[in-house]
Chain A
Amino acid sequence: MNDELIETFLAEAHELIVDLEKALLQLESDPANSEAISATFRAMHTLKGSAAMFGFQSVSEITHDIESIYQDIRDGRRNLDQQVLTITFQTLDHLRVALQQQIHTDPEFVSHHAALLSAIKGLLTSQNDLSAQDIPKALNGVCTYYINFEPHKNILKNGTNPLYLVDDLLVLGHGVCHPYIYELPDLASIEPDACYMGFELLLATDKSVPEIQSVFLFVEEQCKVEIIKLGESDKLRDISQTELPWNNRQDLLPVGVDAIQAFIKRTGVKQKLQKAVGTQSRGQKANNVRVSADQLDDLMNLVSELVTTQARLALFSNEHNSSELGSISENIEKITRRLRDNAFTMSLVPLDTIVVRFQRLINDLSKDLHKPIEFKAEGMDTKIDKSIIEKLTDPLLHIIRNSVDHGIERTETRITSGKSAKGTVLLKSYYSGANVLIEIHDDGGGIDLERVRQKAINKGLIDPQTSLTEQELIDLIFLPGFSTAAKVTDVSGRGVGMDVVRRNISDIRGEVLVRTKRNEGTVFTIKLPLTLSILDGILVKVGGTHFVLPLTSVAKCYEVETSQMESTYNQWITLEGKRTPFIYLRREFGVADQAPHLSQIINVPYNGTYVGLAVDRIEGEYQAVLKPLGYYYQQQQEFSGATILGNGTVALVLDANKLINKLTIEK
């Protein structure tokens, strides 16, 4: 069998499983969601078909029966109960395993497979006949109405607020409202307490016309109400609200029932057409093209090369005073920048691709720990470089696990402290400059700083005499070997803790910050760069070689006399009245040529304090396109990569933390 085809199948299958998981989670909270049910059915159906084609027998076997169950549910022949849902979730986990090709002979897998299969078969035979009235009447009796509500001018004088009436209408079902002005006198003759407005509504509800009319019971005399039935079903679900006729109008007049009716008819036809075109065009996915990650990486590399070449061209054109060359170079610069931005956005993926896993984790934990928890996610359309997302999942899972396990209190404790019984975990993400911020909020008990302190003392991490600020106490949880859980649970507190989280995050050039308040909760903030391939830094020179130091590790720069550093026998220097350890890079890098009279010391944050890095010269800010140094320099961890300067030479990118670490260990 063609390997490439199998790979495509596997990639698709994994996507289907993610879709499936999403749909199932929806069903868990809303079992009557007909869309999620058909999505489940469709995914199972597709999986079955393609799995059989590629010889994944176990996958097609197991999806076959599940598919029939969901077909019955979809057609209203059975109810979706907890048992079905549990088994579907198990199937999902099983499918993930089954997609590994080698596993099929594994005895454990085979027995699990058989057990699951018989459980599903059991579900099929135990199928209870549903009588017609048991079918959830989700959509039964819903009609769509056009309502024109035009209050009289003097309605406000009676203390009636027409907006409340509109609200009353909208709670009957769901709908949209469009206000209009029917008469607007000159500014001179306008009466400030008169109402010149009316409202057009589209309402989908299962209530009857008299019930709708009853909303206007007390204002019948003071308004004109028109209620016209548009159709027997929920038309609002089919139409896009931004395309409604009143959105294209320049004036403020009502559009009238005829225009609305015509519009709904039009969209109805359009939809039928879309359905006829085929099932492949499912929503937005229709316009996407699948590109392999390798190809994308290639594109990124080429763009980076173009950026460097363009920098050379710009340099060259500056040296040669030709206006034509200058304008060509400028043009290329513009195009390159656009191409670069374009290519970078392509390798960005939205966070919601990993959110499903968190949802699942929280659901499971909530059951295991008997803590009812609501998981909310905001801003999950925020996009980050795909290579960052891959490395982000584990740290996030760990933090969320901690929030649920240690953060959210037991239900009794929550009630006595006057909180709602249900805990909340909020995952929130947004852009901030060239960074992406991801926050994990919990409304739990907050971090008990006194306990943190005691624990750190017991573990010998701090001296009992030292007084620490609140922030310093919080930072203790990031120390290796620190874990505050009083008892070791299955969930968290295995000793591998926050230190690993911080390290993983700093590997992708991010930071972790914590804010906590007793009884109100804790917020973990992860600050990440948008992309890993471009780095903001400062360009410095040591001897004849250029280095780039990431801006994140630059706190402050000082100018000092070189002789001052050469004469000290210990590596300390006084900066702004503060004794600071420093590293004389000329010496460490074995530079032999004549040192300049003045040197620069760059203060770098390191383990909560500062260390100075002494360089010859600071050239300025620099945006570096990162290139790996590769196999031959894998021992030189203190250089995270290299970048190509405008003049075509190579500058090395320093990892200040690792450099300081290495040098201090060597001493």
Chain B
Amino acid sequence: MSKTVETLTSYLSFRLGDELFAANVSKVLEILEIPMITKVPRSPAFMRGVVNLRGNVLPVIDTRTKFGLSMIDDTVNSCILVLNISLDGKDIIMGAIVDSVQEVLEIDQASIQALPSVGAKYNTEFIQGMLKLNDRFIMILDVDLVFTAEEVSLLENLSEERITTV
């Protein structure tokens, strides 16, 4: 079944700060408004807490914090992507808070470019590739990896200049 999933060519794009990212739609189960979140005490800073997803407990990650961006207050555009990620063959359902959801893109696999390994500002391990669209670059995330890695800083080199622009 996982084979058919990987060949899907639709991607959901979303925004974190000024950057655009995309995830394969096969990984995205739904998009939620941010409900009341119960914070779990003594947990890592990037864990925002848990919410009630129709009777089940959904853990929610603050994607900005997880990626090493500065934390901001939620806006009306902020929402939770409910993702189905796999870890060692097991499915985990989790939520990721993003600044806003953009659109669903049909992407021809051939137009996805590899990330240049030298001089990239992103940690290439977590990026499947990038795509140029209307003069902007969209980073295609490997959601399975990026949300299960113990500590992730998506940014390779957190320079002072970078932080101020976000």
Contacts and interface: CB of A to CB of B under 8 A. Distances in A.
Interface of A: 301, 304-306, 308-309, 545-546, 588-590, 627-633, 635-636, 638-639, 641-642, 644, 648-652
Interface stretch (B9-17, B19-27, B36-44, B156-164): B36-44
Contacts of B55: 304-306, 308-309, 644
B59 A650 contact: no
B82 interface: no
A642 B61 CA distance: 17
Interface in B41-66: 41-43, 47, 49-52, 54-57, 59, 61
A650 B61 contact: no
B92 interface: yes
Contacts of B38: 545-546, 642, 649-652
A650 B50 contact: yes
A651 B148 CA distance: 25
Contacts of A631: 59, 87, 92, 94, 148
A84 to B, nearest CB: 46
Contact of A632 (B36, B47, B52, B56): B47
Given A638-B42, A650-B38, A650-B51, A632 B57 contact: no
Nearest to A542: B41
Q: Which of A304, A305, A630, A632 has the most CB of B within 10 A?
A: A632
Contacts of A636: 40, 42-43
B42 A642 contact: no
B94 A632 contact: yes
Interface residues on B, range: 20 to 34
Contacts of B49: 650
Given A642-B57, A649-B38, A650-B57, A633 B52 contact: no
26 contacts: A306-B55, A308-B55, A309-B55, A546-B38, A588-B41, A588-B42, A590-B41, A590-B42, A627-B56, A628-B57, A629-B40, A629-B57, A629-B59, A630-B94, A631-B59, A632-B47, A632-B59, A636-B43, A641-B57, A648-B35, A648-B36, A649-B36, A649-B52, A650-B49, A650-B57, A652-B40
A644 B94 contact: no
Across chains A and B, which 7 residue pairs bring their CB atoms closest together, nearest first?
Answer: A305-B55, A589-B41, A650-B38, A632-B59, A627-B57, A642-B57, A308-B55
Contacts of B47: 632-633
A329 B57 CA distance: 24
A82 B47 CA distance: 64
Nearest to A309: B55
Interface of B: 35-36, 38-43, 47, 49-52, 54-57, 59, 61, 87, 92, 94, 148
B54 A642 contact: no
A632 B61 contact: yes
Interface of B, helix, strand, loop or mixed by DSSP: strand
Contacts of A650: 38, 49-52, 57
A622 B89 CA distance: 36
A627 B50 CA distance: 11
Q: Which of B50, B54, B87 has the most CB of A within 10 A?
A: B50
A345 B41 CA distance: 35
B154 to A, nearest CB: 18
Interface of A, helix, strand, loop or mixed by DSSP: mixed
Contacts of B61: 632
B114 to A, nearest CB: 30
Contacts of A629: 40, 50, 57, 59
A435 to B, nearest CB: 26
Nearest to B41: A589
Given A635-B43, A651-B38, 8 more contacts: A589-B42, A627-B56, A629-B50, A629-B57, A630-B92, A631-B59, A633-B59, A636-B40
Nearest to A626: B57
A636 B57 CA distance: 15
B1 to A, nearest CB: 15
Contacts of B50: 629, 633, 642, 650, 652
Contacts of A590: 41-42
Contacts of A305: 54-56
B40 A633 contact: yes
A651 B49 CA distance: 11
Contacts of A546: 38
A644 B42 contact: no
B151 to A, nearest CB: 13
Contacts of B57: 627-630, 641-642, 644, 650
B164 to A, nearest CB: 28
A642 B41 CA distance: 13
B141 to A, nearest CB: 18
A629 B54 CA distance: 15
A305 B57 CA distance: 11
Q: Which of B55, B59, B61, B148 has the most CB of A within 10 A?
A: B55
A630 B53 CA distance: 14
A546 B41 CA distance: 11
B52 A545 contact: no
A74 to B, nearest CB: 48
A454 to B, nearest CB: 42
A650 B47 CA distance: 15
Contacts of B56: 301, 305, 627
Contacts of B148: 631
Q: Which of B41, B56, B61 has the most CB of A within 10 A?
A: B41
B92 A545 contact: no
A666 to B, nearest CB: 10
Contacts of A649: 36, 38, 52
Nearest to A638: B42
A100 B90 CA distance: 24
A625 to B, nearest CB: 9
Contacts of A651: 38
A652 B38 CA distance: 8
Contacts of B41: 545, 588-590
B45 to A, nearest CB: 11
Nearest to B148: A631
A401 to B, nearest CB: 35
Contact of A644 (B40, B52, B59): B52
A504 to B, nearest CB: 25
A651 B55 CA distance: 12
Nearest to A546: B38
Contacts of A628: 57
A644 B43 CA distance: 20
Given A649-B36, A650-B38, A651-B38, A633 B43 contact: yes
Contacts of B43: 633, 635-636
